[in-house]
Amino acid sequence: MKTKTLQKERDVIQQIYDLISEDLKKVEIEFKKNLHSDIFLIRKMGEYILGSGGKRVRPLLVLLSAKLCKYNGESHIPFAAIVEFIHTATLLHDDVVDEAELRRGKVSANVLWGNGASVLVGDFLYSKSFYLMIEHGDMEILKIMSKTTTQMSEGEILQLLKSNDPETTEGEYLEIVKNKTAILMSAACQTGAILGRVSREKQEAISNFGLNIGMAFQLTDDCLDYTSKNEELGKAVGNDLKEGKITLPLIHLLKNSTPDEKQEILKLIGQDDLNKSKLIYVINMINKYKSVDYAMAKAKRCVDEAKACLEIFEPSSERTALIGLADYVFERRF
């Protein structure tokens, strides 16, 4: 049964890839070109993390939005690559901040090459992204992207400040999710719309679509952390709990559990040596109070809102693909 579900999900995303496979190939070539440097380590680390099985959701959003908005040029290719570069830079830095050891099931770059290299190659990717954007010279896109990366760093800082803080509210959590994840997806979509020179109304609609699927994406991710199997997600279950990341399932649980249960759970937040029985205890509590269901219901509302944003566009294969992508974000199990 589970295998069937996974197969269906893979079919959905595969259909989307197929629709713009030519463009996606060009984006991969663009990655290689832009990683060029006299310093071999940059290419090596860049290729390692870019080749580690990311699903290219952000490039997909740029490409599909551009096509949805009837863009006929070639600039969507470099911009799709740039958005993934920015995302990659944040991954490198996040792993230093979180002292992570795994990323997408592979040993993370900071473990392989050290924190210093991760910080500096991340800086290279950030700077190179701006360099490439400036080379393409679209002031509107530049404004959005620079605002976005600034807000992203604010989101990451807020997350850091709120780590291990059981008083974190749902509102604060949603603010973090918006900034650290959703606004880059929103900016990716808006980039496509700006290239396609559609009306302000359509630009806002597609940008809002991106924001909502970004929210759904992170909400689902945070639920998967309590539900998925290790081999599916490429990281250990309960990782957020161990790292002291207070995500929505946990916020809901803390709010709804009895004082005794709450006291038990509080002891486990940020505990590095969280053993299996303790983890099972938390997961049982989460099941008891339907905390994952609560968070997933929120994700579902974001997906529905995202899909509603697309109604302003006439039917097209790109619109269908974006709807499929929204469903995929919610339904994915890996």
Applying CB under 8 A, the residues found at the interface with a copy of itself are 37-39, 41-42, 93, 96-98, 115-117, 119-121, 123-124, 126-128, 130-131, 134-135, 137, 139, 142-143, 146-147, 149-150, 152-154, 156-158, 160-161
- Between residues 120 and 323, which has the closer beta carbon with respect to a copy of itself? 120
State the minimum distance, in angstroms, from the CB of residue 195 to a copy of itself.
18
State the minimum distance, in angstroms, from the CB of residue 26 to a copy of itself.
22
Residues 6, 10, 12, 14, Cα dihedral to 10°: -170
State the minimum distance, in angstroms, from the CB of residue 49 to a copy of itself.
15
Pair 215, 177: CB distance under 8 Å:
yes
- Output the CA–CA distances (angstroms, integers) from residue 143 to 105, 201, 234, 254, 297, in the order listed: 35, 18, 35, 40, 34
- Between residues 69 and 121, which has the closer beta carbon with respect to a copy of itself? 121
Closest CA to 58 of 175, 145, 158, 147: 145
State the minimum distance, in angstroms, from the CB of residue 113 to a copy of itself.
9
State the minimum distance, in angstroms, from the CB of residue 15 to a copy of itself.
35
Q: Which helix (H) or strand (E) holds 107?
A: strand 106-107
- Between residues 6 and 120, which has the closer beta carbon with respect to a copy of itself? 120
Whole-number Å distance between alpha carbons of 253 and 70:
46
Pair 16, 326: CB distance under 8 Å:
no
Reduce the DSSP state of residue 103 to 3 states and report it.
strand
112-121, Cβ contacts within 8 angstroms, sequence gap of 24 or more = 112/48, 113/41, 113/45, 117/41, 117/45, 118/45, 118/92, 118/93, 119/92, 119/93, 121/41, 121/42, 121/45, 121/46, 121/92
- List the structure tokens of 228: 């998925």
- List the structure tokens of 182: 């959703």
State the minimum distance, in angstroms, from the CB of residue 146 to a copy of itself.
4
State the minimum distance, in angstroms, from the CB of residue 138 to a copy of itself.
11
HSE of 327, CA atoms in CB hemisphere, 13 A: 14
- Between residues 17 and 113, which has the closer beta carbon with respect to a copy of itself? 113
- Between residues 38 and 314, which has the closer beta carbon with respect to a copy of itself? 38
- Between residues 64 and 83, which has the closer beta carbon with respect to a copy of itself? 83
- Between residues 25 and 131, which has the closer beta carbon with respect to a copy of itself? 131
